[in-house]
Amino acid sequence: MQQPETHAGTAPLLVVDDDLYLLAAIKQTLNLSGYAVDTFHQPEKALAAISDHTYSAVIADIKMPQMNGLELFRRIQESDPELPVILITGHGDVEMAVSAIKEGAYDFLQKPVDEDVLLASIDRAVEKRRLIIENRILSDRLKKQRKGYHFHGLVGGHPLMQRLYEIIEVVAEENDPVMLYGETGTGKELVARAIHDAGHRYGRPFVPVNMGAMPVEMIESELFGHAIGAFSGASQPKQGKFEYAEDGTIFLDEISSMPITIQSKLLRVLEEKSVTPLGSNTSIPIGARIIAATNKDLEQEIRQGKFRQDLYFRLNVLPVKTPALRERKEDIPLLVEHFRLEYCHDRQLNIEPFAADVIEQIKQNIWPGNIRELKNQVRRICIFGAKEQVAKKSIPTNIFKKSSAQPTLLKPFLEQIEKEYLLEVLRQNKGLVPLTHQQLGISRKSLYDKINKYGIDLTLLRKDN
Residues 156 and 206 in one domain: yes
Structure confidence at residue 5 (pLDDT): 38
347 pairs with which residues across the strands?
none
The share of the chain scoring above pLDDT 90, in percent, equals: 49
Strand partners, 274: 285
Query: Does 4 map to a domain?
Result: no
Which of 342, 333, 343, 338 lies closest to 386, judged by CA?
343
Same domain, 240 and 338: no
CATH of the domain at 283: 3.40.50.300
Residue 21 lies in a domain: yes
Domain identity same for 318 and 330: no
Give the integer Cα–Cα distance in Å for 381 and 358: 10
CA distances from 50 to 14, 108, 239 (A): 8, 20, 48
Residue 97 is part of a domain; what is its CATH number? 3.40.50.2300
Q: Show the domain range for 335.
A: 326-464
Q: Any idea which of 66-70, 311-315, 335-339, 411-415 has the lowest mean pLDDT?
A: 411-415
Q: In the chain, how many domains are there?
A: 3
**Model pTM greater than 0.85?**
no
Cα–Cα distances in angstroms (integers) from residue 43 to residues 71, 122, 335, in the given order: 10, 20, 57
Domain edge (last residue) among 84, 115, 140: 140
Helix axes 370-388, 410-428, angle to 10 degrees: 90
Last residue of one domain, picked from the residues 297, 323, 349? 323
Q: Is the pLDDT of residue 6 over 50?
A: no
Same domain membership, residue 330 and residue 230: no
The answer to whether residues 316 and 352 belong to one domain is: no
Residues 118 and 153 in one domain: no
In this predicted structure, what is the pLDDT of residue 139? 58
Considering the domain architecture, whether residues 287 and 334 belong to the same structural domain is answered as no
Q: Is the pLDDT of residue 427 over 90?
A: no
Cα–Cα distance for residue pair 140/292, rounded to 1 Å: 28
User: Angle, nearest 10°, between helix axes 332-347 and 356-364?
Assistant: 120
Same domain, 91 and 172: no
d(CA 421, CA 335): 20
Domain identity same for 343 and 373: yes
Q: What integer pLDDT is reported at residue 414 of this predicted model?
A: 64
Which of 323, 352, 382 is the last residue before a domain boundary?
323
Q: Does 169 map to a domain?
A: yes
Pairing mode of beta strands 85-89, 12-16: unpaired
The pLDDT of residue 4 is: 37
Give the model's pLDDT for residue 191: 97
Q: What is the mean pLDDT of the chain?
A: 85
If asked whether residues 116 and 166 sit together in one domain, one would say: no
Give me the pLDDT at residue 355, please: 82
Chain segment 148-157, per-residue pLDDT in tens: 578 898 999 8
Give the pLDDT confidence of 275-294 residue by residue, as tens digits. 999 999 999 999 999 999 99
- Looking at the predicted structure, is the pLDDT value of residue 125 above 50? yes
Nearest alpha carbon to residue 288 among 270, 264, 311: 270
Q: Please check whether residue 2 lies inside any domain of the structure.
A: no
**With contact defined as beta carbons under 8 Å apart, do 106 and 73 qualify?**
no
Instruction: Kindly state the average pLDDT of the residues 17-30.
Output: 90
Does residue 247 carry a pLDDT above 70? yes
Same domain, 51 and 120: yes
